[in-house]
Amino acid sequence: MNIDSIHNGIVLDHIKAGKAMEIYRFLGLDDLDCSVAIIKNAPSKKQGKKDIIKIDSEMALDLNILGFIDPEITVNVIKDGALIEKKHLTLPRQIRDVLKCKNPRCITSVEQELPHIFNLTDPRRAVYRCAYCETKAE
């Protein structure tokens, strides 16, 4: 298999195997007018298998949301064919408008304009709870 290198863009590496399509849809990469390569189940010494996404364009990424989806992702920024920045993600302390609270009695069910805010309450288990009612995210 031959996947060309990119000149200016972003490489999302160390994605948990099978998560690349979820990230592709979430970032709206199908709307881009550039080359996007998805490599699924690539061999990895650390993970066994991993997914990789190569985006042949510069774009803004919400690193908190990527960290929520998969905190093991490495974001590599490529400029003029060279790696200029490597970012290691972590679970964000707080996420906004990514999840919706499942509690029907939560204020967000009544007040539609309120942001859906979830706080990280257990980093080891990646548990997030609603900032308003403390309901565990699922």
**Sign of CA pseudo-dihedral 116, 28, 41, 72:** negative
pLDDT class of 3 with cuts at 50, 70, 90? low
- How many distinct helices (H) and strands (E) make up the chain? 3, 8
Dihedral Cα 20, 26, 28, 34, nearest 10 deg? -30
pLDDT class of 97 with cuts at 50, 70, 90? very high
In a shared domain, residues 27 and 73: yes
In a shared domain, residues 45 and 23: yes
In a shared domain, residues 52 and 114: no
Q: What is the pTM assigned to this prediction?
A: 0.83
Instruction: Report the number of distinct structural domains present in the chain.
Output: 2
Residue 121 CA to residue 85 CA, distance in Å, equals 30
In a shared domain, residues 71 and 110: no
Range of the domain at 119: 94-130
In a shared domain, residues 57 and 102: no
In a shared domain, residues 25 and 80: yes
In a shared domain, residues 107 and 42: no
* Percent of the chain topping pLDDT 70: 97
